[in-house]
Amino acid sequence: MSKIRVVVADDQNISRGFFEMYVRASADYELVAGLRTAQAALDYVKDHEVDLLILDVMMQDGIDGLSAAEKIKKDHPEIKIILTTSASETTWEQKAKDAGIDSFWYKEYDDHGLMDIMERTVKGESVYPDQAPEVSFGKITRADLTDRELEIIRELTASKTNEEIADRLQISVNTVKRHIQNIMEKTGFESRLDLAMSAKSIGLVVSDVERIGKDS
């Protein structure tokens, strides 16, 4: 029986090395490429046979992993794809599902091991987390924030003004101010800058501006 051909694409050396180690450790898998960019993965699958692609969402150079996965799935539906991330941004899950991406794995927060996700994905199962990652944020956890509050924080990490946030979310500026004040009281942060910087540093949320390099 031939081995399952695996490509790993991650711009972080430690993460990529971790994934490559797991692949090499199994007699059922063959690591055919370890790549540093999503664009390299896009180019590789055009000319090589690949069974499974493990692809990080956030990439520093060029196209992001989510956008690349969508393109690859459209052109090569037979390739199984596992999207991975060290952030706790949950909106990517639905975007991945909508794009037909097979599985989604949080590096830091998922109870399932990578090998388990790989085996289930290769067998045809679509594996997504059962619940949002549990992340401490100030005096609370991610679960203590509403979806609207997470949307507000996401826009704050992109350095948006209250007016810009209001326009983007189709709410009033006063409503934006009230949400920010409530979030600060919940979390204990003393300024919106501290709030935004902390959220960004731990990957609590990630704006589309940061993921794809432009507003969408």
Please report, in tens digits, the pLDDT of each residue of the chain (216 residues total). Answer: 689 999 999 999 988 998 999 899 899 999 999 999 999 999 999 999 999 999 999 987 889 999 999 999 999 999 999 999 999 999 999 999 999 999 999 988 877 788 999 999 999 999 999 888 889 999 999 999 999 999 999 999 989 999 999 999 999 999 999 999 999 999 999 999 999 999 998 889 988 878 886 444
29: left (phi over 0), alpha (psi -120 to 50) or beta: beta
Phi, psi angles (nearest 5°) of residue 119: -65, -45
As a CATH number, domain 4-122 is: 3.40.50.2300
- Residues 160/203, Cβ–Cβ less than 8 Å: no
Q: Of 130, 109, 129, 121, which is closest to residue 204 (Cα–Cα)? A: 109
Q: Where does 86-169 show beta strands of DSSP type E?
A: 103-106, 136-137, 140-141
pLDDT at site 118: 94
Q: Quote the pLDDT of residue 190.
A: 92
Amino acid letter at 181?
Answer: Q
Pairing of strands 103-106, 136-137: unpaired
pLDDT of residue 195: 95
Where do we find the tokens 């067998």?
123
**How far apart are alpha carbons 127 and 141 in whole angstroms?**
24
Is 136-212 in CATH node 1.10.10.10?
yes
The structure tokens 């005096």 sit at 139
Q: What gap in Å lies between CA 203 and CA 154, rounded to an integer?
A: 10
What pLDDT shows up at residue 60? 79
pLDDT for 33 equals 97
Q: Output the six-digit token pair for 3.
A: 């081995």
- pLDDT of 8 reads 97
Q: State the CB neighbour count (10 A cutoff) for residue 93.
A: 17
Measured distance CA(79)–CA(77) in Å, rounded: 5
Q: At what angle do helices 173-187 and 162-169 cross, to 10 degrees?
A: 110
Residue 10 DSSP class: -
Structure tokens at 55: 């692809």
Write down the domain spans for the chain: 4-122, 136-212
* Cα atoms in the Cβ-side hemisphere of radius 13 Å centred on 173: 5
